[in-house]
Amino acid sequence: MDLLTQRAVVTLGYHPNLATLGAVLVLLSAVAFLSNSHGAWKHLPPGPRGIPLLGNVSQLLGDKWLTFTALKEKYGPIVHLTAAGQHIIVLNNLKVASDLMDRKSSVTSHRPQNIVVGIMTGNLLITFLNPGDVWHRMRRASQEGLRSSSVPLYYPALYREAVSLSVKMLSDPSKMEWYGHIQGAVAGGAIRMIYGRSSEEDVSTLNEYVKRLTMSATSPAAHLVDVLPWLNVFPAWMSPWKKMAQRAFETDSGTFKKLFRETERRGMDTPSMVNTLTKNAKSLGLAEEEEYWLAGAVFTGSQTIIDVLSWWLMAMLLYPETQQRAHDEIDHVIAKGRLPTFEDCKKMPYMQAMVKEVIRWRPIDPLGLPHTTSEDIWYEGFFIPKGSMLVPNVWAINRDPDTFGPDAHHFNPARHLDDTTGNMKPSPADTKEEGHVSFGFGRRICVGRHFANKMLLINMVLLAWATKIDAERGPDGRPIGLDVDGCVDEGVTVRPVPFPCNITPRFPGALSMLHQGLAELRLHE
C-alpha cells in the first residue's frame, strides 16, 4: 500500500523550537497577513481564525481527523488552516477530494518538503519523490511488478505466511500476543513476495528500517530543518540529525542491495518482484540504486497491512454477527477436510466485502498522505495558492452517511453487497471500485493496492476458517480491555490500543490440518 510513511511528513505535525523560530514566525505572519488581505487571497476557503505566529496550531494537535471532521460541520467540505505560514487545505468530502486530487492531479501530485526523509533515503523513496524522471521510472516499474495481473504470481508466498499465521494464533493463543504474530507473518509474506524467500533475520532487519525511518523522521528535532531549510547547509558534524540520516541511508542501502543481489543469484525459479524488475531491467531503465530502493519501498507498506488486520480483529469482537456470517460463507464453500485456497476466495463475496469494509471503517491513515499544489488553483470560487498542502480527511470521507449510508460509522461488510444476489455491487463513484478512499488519489494512488487486498483476504479467510475470535470478558460478562475510540499512532499508521482476545480452534482438528498444510508447503520451498 502507498500509505507507507505518511506520518513522516512535516505537514500537520510541526514541532519547531519556538524560541529559535520566533523571529522567523513573526516575519511569516506579517507576510501572510499582508498577502491574505489583498486580491485573490481574500478568496481563500473558510476556516477558523489562527493565532499570531502559530496559525491554527490548536487544530493541528491530537486526533486531527476528528477535529477536521468537526470543522466540516461549521465551515463546509473545504477548510483553510495555516501553520507557521504554510497553507493547509483540508478536503472533507468525496467530491472535493476527487475534484482536486484526481481530476486536477496534473497540478496536485507534488509532496510536501521533507529534507530529513530525503537524506535518509537518498531521495530514492518513491512515496516522497516529486514528479520527475526518477519518480516516473520508479512508478512505471512498480506498476509492472504489482499490477493486478501480476499478483497471482505471488500467491504461494502469501499463502505460506497466511497458513503460518493461523498456526501461530492457535499454537500460542496468548491473549495479548496476537499483534506480534500478525506482524511476523505479514512481514514474512511481503519479503517472500519481494525477494522470493524470507528469514527471521530479514524480517527483523527490515522492520528496524521501517521503525528507524518513521521514528527519526517524525522527531521534533528533525522537523526543524523542514521549517528552516537553510539549516541544511551546515555539515553533518554540526548537525546530529544529518549524521543520523546519512548513516541510515548507508545502512539501508546496503541491506537492500544485499537482498536484491542474493535474489538475483538464486535465479528466476521463484516468482518475486525482484525477478520481475531484473527481467525487465532494460525496458524499465532503472539505475541500480533505484532498483534496490523500489524493492525496499514495497516492504515499507507491509506495516499498513499489519494494522488493517489488527482493526479487523477488533471488528470481530465488536460485531460478532459479522464473524458468524463469515463462518457460514466459508463452510458453504469449503469441503470438510481441507484448507481454503485463493481459488476458494473467488466464491466468497462476503469475505471480499469484509476486506473493503475494514479498510473503510477504520482507515489506518485517517488523513491520507498530503499532496502539494504546484500552481495556483481556483476551485468553486475559492483560491488555493501554489504550495498549499491538500489534506484529504479520509476518516470523514470513508464515514460520510451521504456516500455510505446512515450506519457509515459501523462495521457492516454487507453494505458492499447487492441485496438481491448477494454478490459484490458497484462501489460508490470516485472510489475506484475499492469502496473507500484509503488507497489515495490521482497519480499517487497506491500501486500496491491489489497485492494488499489479496494478502488481507487470504489471511482473513484462513483465520475465519480455523479460529473463533472472542472477547476477554470480566465478571459482568462485558468485554474488557477494548478502547474502541482510542488508537496508537505509530508515526506511519494508527492501530488499535492493545486489547486481549481469546482465539480458539473453530472445530476439532483445525490446528493439525494447518500444521500438515504448512509442512507440505515447506517441502516445496
Q: Which residues pair with 378 in a beta bridge?
A: 383
Q: Which of 297, 311, 279 is nearest to 496 (CA)?
A: 311
Q: What is the pLDDT of residues 175-225, one digit of tens each?
A: 888 999 999 999 999 999 999 998 889 999 999 998 888 776 555 555 677
pLDDT at 337: 86
Report the range of poorest mean pLDDT among 352-356, 380-384, 388-392, 485-489.
485-489
Q: Tell me the average pLDDT across 479-492.
A: 83
Task: Report whether 186 contacts 309 (CB < 8 A).
Answer: yes
pLDDT at 18: 41
Q: Is residue 15 part of a domain?
A: no
Counting residues of the chain whose pLDDT is more than 90, the rounded percentage is 64
d(CA 190, CA 187): 5
Q: Is residue 313 part of a domain?
A: yes
Q: What is the pLDDT of residues 322-339, one digit of tens each?
A: 999 999 999 999 987 899
Task: Report whether 126 contacts 239 (CB < 8 A).
Answer: no
Which string of DSSP letters, residue by residue, matches 188-203? HHHHHHHHS---HHHH
Domain at 301, CATH number: 1.10.630.10
Q: Is residue 347 part of a domain?
A: yes
Task: Report whether 239 contacts 103 (CB < 8 A).
Answer: no
pLDDT at 480: 81
Contacting residues for 470 by C-beta, under 8 A, at least 6 apart: 317, 501, 502, 503, 504
Q: What is the pLDDT of residues 430-441, one digit of tens each?
A: 999 999 999 999
Q: What is the pLDDT of residues 47-67, one digit of tens each?
A: 999 888 788 888 887 788 999
- The sign of the torsion formed by the CA atoms of 125, 130, 134, 136 equals positive
Mean pLDDT of the residues in the chain: 88
How many domains in the chain?
Answer: 1
d(CA 461, CA 215): 33
The distance from CA 189 to its chain's CA centroid, rounded to whole angstroms, is: 17
Q: Is residue 83 part of a domain?
A: no
Q: Is residue 1 part of a domain?
A: no
Q: What is the pLDDT of residues 94-117, one digit of tens each?
A: 999 999 999 999 999 999 988 888
Q: What is the pLDDT of residues 369-410, one digit of tens each?
A: 899 999 999 999 999 999 999 999 999 999 999 999 999 999
487 is annotated as contributing to ligand binding: no
Q: Which three cell numbers stand for residue 378?
A: 481556483
Q: What is the pLDDT of residues 286-309, one digit of tens each?
A: 999 999 999 998 898 888 999 999
Strands (DSSP E) along 250-329, which ranges? Answer: none
Kindly tell me the number of DSSP H helices and DSSP E strands found in the chain. 21, 10
The distance from CA 472 to its chain's CA centroid, rounded to whole angstroms, is: 29
- Evaluate if residue 162 carries a pLDDT over 80: yes
Q: Is residue 6 part of a domain?
A: no
Q: Is residue 493 part of a domain?
A: yes
pTM: 0.90
Q: Is residue 118 part of a domain?
A: no
Residue 342: give the domain boundaries: 133-523
Using DSSP's 3-state secondary structure scheme, residue 286 falls into coil
